[in-house]
Amino acid sequence: MPKINVLDKTLADMIAAGEVVERPSSAVKELVENALDAGAKNITVEIRNGGMSYIRVADDGCGIAREDCPTAFLRHATSKIARPEDLAAIYTLGFRGEALASIAAVARVELFTKTKEESIGTTVTVEGGEVLECTDAGCPNGTTVVVRNLFFNTPARMKFLKSDAAEAGHVTDVINKMILQNPAVSFKLINGGRQVAFSPGDGKLLSAVRAVWGKDWAADMIEVDYTDEIAHVHGLAGNFSLARRDRRQQVFYVNGRNIVSPLLSAALSEAYQNTMMVGKHPVAVLNIELNAALVDVNVHPTKMEVRFSEEKKVYSALYWAVKNALSVKKHIPEVRESARREAAPTPVSLPKEEKRPVTPPPSRPTPTSPPLPKQEGEQINLLKDAYVQSKPRITMERLSGADAPTAFHQSAPKPYQTGEDAFVHTAPPAPKAEEKPVQTEAVSTTPRAGVDFALIGQAFATYILIQQGNDLLLIDQHAAHERLYFEQFKKEFEQKTISPQLLMLPVTVKLDPVAFQAAVENKELFADLGFELDVFGETDIIIRTTPVMLDDGQIASAVEDIAGAILSHKKAVTPELFEHALHTVACKRALKGNSVLTREEMEHLAERVLALPDANTCPHGRPITIKMSRGYLEKQFKRIV
């Protein structure tokens, strides 16, 4: 049997260092956090070869007293905590006393420091964890740490590092997070003698965003400031036009500490529900301030993970903070001089997505309906001219009010046109004798529902063009109609006033076995939405009622989509699932693109859409309206320069 040995100090320190210093960016993060804890207002980071051969972090903080310099490199030596009770109230970034010791264990380190009370500074040289020298030095107030030949004594770790460019990218990523975390601190990053990042340190988060992601991103950020019983949430959230393919541009801080949190990411996504394109993720820089006793930061040596003692309350605080900020002003994306790049200049890394916590909705009574015939293989007499029975139904003609869609005729789609016919002007069919001809040019209109605009016409039988002030607005008629339907359906669903329409001619829908089982097991959910269904075979179901007028193909497609949504939610009935189902019905019923509209229909649709208080996306997140300013157009035509 192998003998149990106690590891010597050097080997133990090298092993422990691996938990804190995984790559050059880890060392940079620890050193910058120390500088911030020291009250620095200006921090310069310089690296060479991705930080593997050289790292220098200089700050103008309080410095380290001469007598404390050798002690600073001992493991578990810290000025942040002294008693066990201090772990329950940690507001500093560092507290474990491992950073300098871990870095010094796997590198050659020089420290230069001076406090404002001292007349001369101190320099300490450490190699492989051993203090070699501690002498006087001439240096400014603050601290400078130089790290050379990282992992020189742990060649196995070197094998797992990437190229110089890749490691430099990780360092830049760390500095960008620090910039967003500390807008009142000026940062400078130098890579190979070239400045690659700089922030002014003017205390404005918008300036920090501009420094990290560029001015176009900053222009599309919305201020967030919310306080409830447990937390103060503040920062910036991007509007829907900044939607990304992943969550790398979601940056969260808890009491000023950058963390990764599936809980907070889930709350953020929930706040953007119905305003973000499906498959896209929002952008945000948010700081959650709460009592330190409610958060455990001593979870991992890297301090990137935390635990909340009140998870539901923290989730709710961030959700409402962002939700309220998004509802303040409706965002209409504007065509600008230069297109925004798809990827951010410097991505921020986050872990893989996890399923977000959700709270089941309150139970809803199932609408009463006549008994269903229940013999398998029941025969239905197909009547070609059968119509819906005269039961109260939700139709476009029945809906009214400021938030209701209008009744549209469904014109036969025209083939795609080019040239002059590609733009359909607002000239309607020949007017009746008693009616006045409709003018073909844009005319002034009186305010409608508090919205004033001038109708121009319809392009490609899909987009409505209007003039509003000095802006030209283009409205996607399908997205607009879908949003209006969704708002109406959602209102009726919440008020439990959906009136299912009994079909005289039931519709049979064939599903795959898995989707069939999901639909049968969730008949109550379908009933809440206005669909009454019953088993009609091994994989067939019969639909006897629908929430709105849909043709057979639309009914089958809607049922298939809802069953698919149930499966994607692992059969859990959630608010998101109900909203997905309402999206589906609204999309199926809404006016389609490539449909020619009359002038009155266009005006009515534009009026209702512009009157929406805060929504400018369809339920799937596509924009309803975009705009071009008069100035932009005049620049394109060289009227102004």
DSSP code per residue over 584-604:
HHHHHHSPPSS----HHHHHH
Alpha-carbon distance of 487 to 501, in angstroms, equals 19
What residues are paired with 473 via a beta bridge? 466, 627
**How much is the pLDDT for 337?**
60
Question: Strand 42-48 relative to strand 186-191: parallel, antiparallel, unpaired?
Answer: parallel
Tell me: the pLDDT tens digits for 361-416? 334 333 433 333 333 333 333 322 333 333 333 333 333 344 444 445 444 444 43
Mean pLDDT for 42-52 is 94
The answer, yes or no, to whether residue 423 has pLDDT greater than 80, is no
Q: Is the dihedral of CA 256, 178, 29, 281 positive or negative?
A: positive
- Closest-CA residue to 353 (of 260, 423, 426): 260
Q: Under a CB-based contact definition with an 8 Å cutoff, are residues 554 and 589 in contact?
A: yes
Over 80: is that where the pLDDT of 167 sits? yes
C-alpha span between 326 and 225 (Å, rounded): 11
Residue count of the chain: 641
In the chain, what percentage of residues exceed pLDDT 90?
27
**pLDDT, tens only, 533-546:** 999 887 899 999 98
Mean pLDDT score, 119-140: 88
The whole-number average pLDDT for the span 10-34 is 71
Instruction: Categorize the per-residue pLDDT at 585 as very low, low, confident or very high, splitting at 50, 70 and 90.
Output: confident
In the prediction, which pLDDT does 190 show? Answer: 96
CA distances for 517 relative to 35, 512, 532, 564, 640, angstroms: 59, 9, 16, 11, 64
* Average pLDDT of the residues of the chain: 76
Helix H or strand E segment including 471? strand 471-476
| Confidence tier at 225 by pLDDT (50, 70, 90) | very high
Between the alpha carbon of residue 438 and those of residues 426, 430, 449, the distances in Å are: 8, 9, 22
Tell me the residue ranges of DSSP E strands in 87-205: 108-114, 121-127, 130-137, 142-148, 186-191, 194-198
Extract the tokens encoding 55. 């790292």
Which helix (H) or strand (E) segment holds residue 253: the answer is strand 250-254
Strands 540-546 and 532-535: antiparallel
> What b/e sequence results for 549-581 when a residue is b if at least 16 CB atoms lie within 10 Å of its CB, and e otherwise?
ebeeebbbbbbbbbbbbbeebeeebbebbbbbb
Q: Can you tell me the distance from the alpha carbon of 578 to that of 565, in angstroms, rounded to the nearest whole number?
A: 9
pLDDT band for position 49 (cuts 50, 70, 90): very high
State yes or no: pLDDT of 291 exceeds 80.
yes
Which has the closest alpha carbon to 240: 353, 338, 332? 332
41 vs 358, higher pLDDT: 41
pLDDT reading at 356 higher than 80: no
Q: What percent of the chain has pLDDT over 70?
A: 71
pLDDT at 342 over 70: no
The pLDDT of residue 426 is 44
CA 169 to chain centre: 23
Residue 93: the pLDDT is 60
Q: For position 288, what pLDDT does the model report? A: 92
